[in-house]
DNA sequence: CAAATCGCTCAACGATTGTTGAGTGTACGG
DNA sequence: CCGTACACTCAACAATCGTTGAGCGATTTG
């Protein structure tokens, strides 16, 4: 029942990271102040600096995705289904870390780099499974399509998307994705 | 050859607006400082305030789209073609005003409102031309699809999209759009 | 031609921000 | 049980930001 010192530290660090993720996710990098993160974590602003060194470093740490365990429940077999899962169009939605990155990707250079890297990885992975010499372009378009729906749904909150059940979105999106990926499968 | 006083004022106002649009478009609202806008326009920061009242008001004015003349050259007849044109996937790309709005839409509340309004209008317009009771959802998805490609292409600069000629993107995107809009036409 | 008007600049204020260094109290190791 | 180490706070600094009010000089007006 006694809480060791190292444990206290880890606990504080996690509370700060959680608060930072939440704030970064719904206000973006610039509008999120270290003081606000500290307040939300019930901690002094100086402690945040002491643990993470700078606001930028805090952001980087907050955005680092918790390693997704391979072979999750819904595990889809076809490429389109896997893509729909990856970008959170199914199941419970995106992680706070991903949302934080997406929220700032248009206005914060480091977030843009992270987004380019993440999306680039997805593009390469999908492109490798497609035939033809426009495979990469098709993959990039398919990834951008899901990015757009995610942005419209999770970040902008477009009414028709917010109101629609996720399976309905999935159902309408799948044929479009298949058309993009080359009509095969 | 003499420049009247009113003319000088209009000229300065336009230079400020142009500079503001350019800076808002590539750094977003928060990272764009009034001092930077003034410097780019060759003017004192106080003048910007005097003309526009506040940074927010400057942003609103800078984002106001120049009224698009109806019936432009490329004038496409089918719905998919018109959508592709509207979101700048064809021709010369988006206006600086639109880019400025899109750049800030995830992090600046007023820009988000503007984006929701603009995209909502497009959704209504497209949805009105579709049959079925999921018309609005289909329209919202189609609009989000183009939003995603625009974001990936113009704002994030994803390599495969940057390198591809616009007609190629158009060619690959059209079947996907048609699949989303209901397979008709 | 005198006076009012107007485009425009200068200098500064107040608030907020990220960041820092000194200090405090308590768990820890010997 | 004592001294060290460490989690944590307090107070402040320096820079930057949006914003303001006074003032200058040229142009317009009567």
Domain boundaries, chain B: 5-63, 79-181
Predicted local confidence at residue B185, as pLDDT:
45
Considering chain B, what percentage of its residues have pLDDT values greater than 90?
77
CB distance A137 to B159 below 8 Å: no
Beta strands in chain A (DSSP E): none
Q: Residue B25: its pLDDT value, please?
A: 98
pLDDT tens-place string over residues B81-111: 888 887 766 656 789 999 999 999 999 999 9
Taking the Cβ of residue A128 and every Cβ of chain B, the question of whether any pair is shorter than 8 Å is answered with no
**Range A165-170, long-range pairs (CB < 8 A, 24+ positions):** A166/A89, A166/A90, A166/A91, A167/A90, A168/B134, A168/B137, A169/A89, A169/B137, A169/B141, A170/A84, A170/A89, A170/A90
The model's pLDDT over A36-65, given as tens digits with 9 standing for 90+, comes to 999 999 999 999 999 999 999 999 999 997
For residues A25 and A59, give the distance between their C-alpha atoms in angstroms, rounded to a whole number: 10
Q: How far is CA A21 from each of CA A41, A65, A96, B114, rounded to the nearest angstrom?
A: 11, 11, 6, 26
HSE on the CB side for B177, CA within 13 Å? 26
Average pLDDT, chain A: 91
Give me the A residues in range 1-30 that sit within 7 A (CB) of strand D.
5-6, 8-9, 11-12
Q: Quick check: A1 pLDDT over 60? A: no
Per residue in A91-120, is it b (16+ CB within 10 Å) or e — as a string? eeebebbbbbbbbbbbbbeebbebbbebbb
CA–CA distance, B134 with B138 (Å, rounded to integer): 6
* Residue-level pLDDT at A185: 46
Beta-sheet strands, E only, within chain B? none
**Whose C1' is closest to the CA of B12: which nucleotide?**
C7
Of A30, A119, A140, the CB nearest to B107: A30
Which chain B residues contact residue A160 at CB under 8 A? 123, 127, 136-137, 139-140
A107, A140, A99: which is closest to A121 by C-alpha? A140
Flag whether pLDDT at B165 surpasses 70: yes
Distance CA B168, CA B156 (A): 19
Q: Among positive and negative, which fits the CA dihedral B65, B114, A169, B160? A: positive
Average pLDDT of the segment spanning B6-31:
97
pLDDT per residue as tens digits for the range A78-100: 888 888 887 666 656 789 999 99
Q: Which of A106, A133, A136, A151 is closest to B159 using CA atoms?
A: A136
Interface test with A, best of B148, B154, B166 (most A CBs within 10 A): B148
For residue B91, the model assigns a pLDDT of 58
Q: Is domain A5-63 classified as CATH 1.10.3720.10?
A: no
Calpha distance A67→A65 (Å, rounded): 6
Residue B175 has pLDDT above 50, yes or no: yes
Higher pLDDT, B52 or B77: B52
Reported as a single tens digit per residue, the pLDDT across B55-74 is 999 999 999 976 665 555 56
**Chain B CA closest to residue A137:** B160
Section B143-155 average pLDDT: 96
Nearest to B138 among A112, A139, A172 (CB): A172
Range B41-46 average pLDDT: 98
Span of A129-133, B74-78, B128-132 with lowest mean pLDDT: B74-78
pLDDT exceeds cutoff 80 at A69: no
Of A13 and A167, the structure prediction assigns the larger pLDDT to A13
Q: Is residue B39 less than 8 Å (CB to CB) from chain A?
A: no
Cβ contact, residue pair B160, A139, below 8 Å:
yes
Tell me which DSSP letter residue B77 carries.
-
């Amino acid at each position: 029942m006694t809480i060791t010192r190292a444990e206290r530290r880890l606990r504080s660090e996690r509370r700060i990271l959680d608060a930072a993720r939440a704030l970064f996710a719904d206000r973006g990098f610039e509008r999120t102040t270290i003081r606000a993160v500290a307040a939300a974590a019930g901690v002094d602003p100086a402690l945040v600096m002491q643990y993470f060194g700078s606001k930028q470093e805090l952001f980087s740490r907050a955005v680092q995705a918790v390693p997704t365990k391979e072979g999750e429940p819904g595990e889809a077999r076809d490429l389109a289904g896997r893509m729909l899962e990856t970008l959170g169009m199914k199941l419970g939605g995106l992680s706070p870390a991903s949302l934080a990155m997406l929220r700032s990707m248009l206005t914060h250079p480091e977030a843009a780099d992270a987004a380019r890297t993440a999306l680039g990885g997805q593009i390469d992975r999908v492109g490798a499974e497609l035939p033809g010499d426009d495979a990469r372009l098709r993959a990039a378009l398919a990834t951008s399509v899901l990015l757009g729906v995610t942005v419209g749904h999770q970040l902008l909150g477009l009414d028709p998307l917010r109101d629609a059940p996720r399976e309905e979105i999935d159902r309408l999106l799948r044929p479009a994705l298949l058309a993009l990926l080359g009509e095969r499968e």
